[in-house]
């Protein structure tokens, strides 16, 4: 299956084993916001949906998709546009609000301002690589409980849109749109 964050059309699930790709009607979730990013980890789908973050259980695909947990703008300031997960922590690229850490064990959220507009986050171990539009790449250590420490940055010539880290962790890639 392919999981697609489709803006105002929500989360779409496509069976890619078919010759002609079809959206599974039971796998179409029209979310209230604008779906911006999706992360699949095991039997869970994590969805950044502008004013909310959702976690779905996909164990019983294609017949059933179950909402496991969520946070919304009543729980925290949200402008969720990117998402990644490590252990029991969901890390959200939270647009104008910076970075949001959601501890799934406790349900607690922590917000961290990080510059202009946090567009994307990528995790490698306990390091967060954030694409922050005006400021470029920003690197944070979150190995200490409830602490986000900036350990590096790299300005880019345009607006940083996305960040990725190689499997070995020895290369960082930044998609940088023109300013």
Measured between alpha carbons, how far is 54 from 165 in angstroms, rounded to an integer?
24
| Predicted TM-score (pTM) of this structure | 0.89
Write out pLDDT tens, residues 27-66.
578 888 899 999 999 999 999 999 999 999 999 887 788 9
Sign of CA dihedral 61, 65, 68, 69: positive
Q: How many CB atoms lie within 10 A of CB 146?
A: 9
- The alpha carbon of residue 119 and the mean position of all alpha carbons in its chain are separated, in whole angstroms, by 9
Measured between alpha carbons, how far is 53 from 61 in angstroms, rounded to an integer?
20
Encoded tokens for 60: 């019983």
Average pLDDT over residues 89-95: 95
The label of the residue with tokens 């980890």 reads 41
Nearest to 80 by CA among 42, 109, 41: 109
Q: Classify burial at 64, counting beta carbons within 10 Å of its beta carbon; exposed 0-12, middle 13-18, buried 19 or more.
A: exposed
Whole-Å CA distances, 110 to 64, 94, 170: 32, 11, 29
Residue 69, pLDDT score = 95
């Amino acid at each position: 299956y392919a999981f697609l964050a489709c803006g105002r059309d929500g989360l779409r699930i496509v069976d890619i084993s078919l010759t002609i790709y079809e959206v599974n009607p039971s796998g179409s979730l029209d979310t209230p916001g604008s779906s911006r990013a999706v992360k699949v980890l095991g039997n869970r789908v994590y969805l950044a949906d502008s004013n909310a973050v959702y976690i779905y259980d996909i164990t019983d695909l294609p017949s059933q998709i179950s909402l496991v947990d969520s946070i919304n703008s009543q729980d925290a300031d949200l402008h969720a546009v990117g998402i990644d997960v490590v252990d029991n922590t969901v890390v959200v690229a939270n647009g104008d609000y910076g970075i949001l850490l959601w501890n799934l064990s406790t349900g607690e959220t922590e917000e961290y301002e990080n510059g202009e507009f946090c567009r994307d986050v990528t995790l490698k171990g306990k390091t967060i690589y954030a694409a922050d539009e005006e400021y470029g790449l920003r690197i944070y250590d979150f190995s200490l409980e409830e602490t986000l420490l900036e350990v590096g940055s790299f300005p880019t010539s345009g607006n940083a849109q996305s960040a990725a880290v190689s499997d070995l962790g020895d290369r960082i890639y930044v998609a940088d749109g023109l300013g």
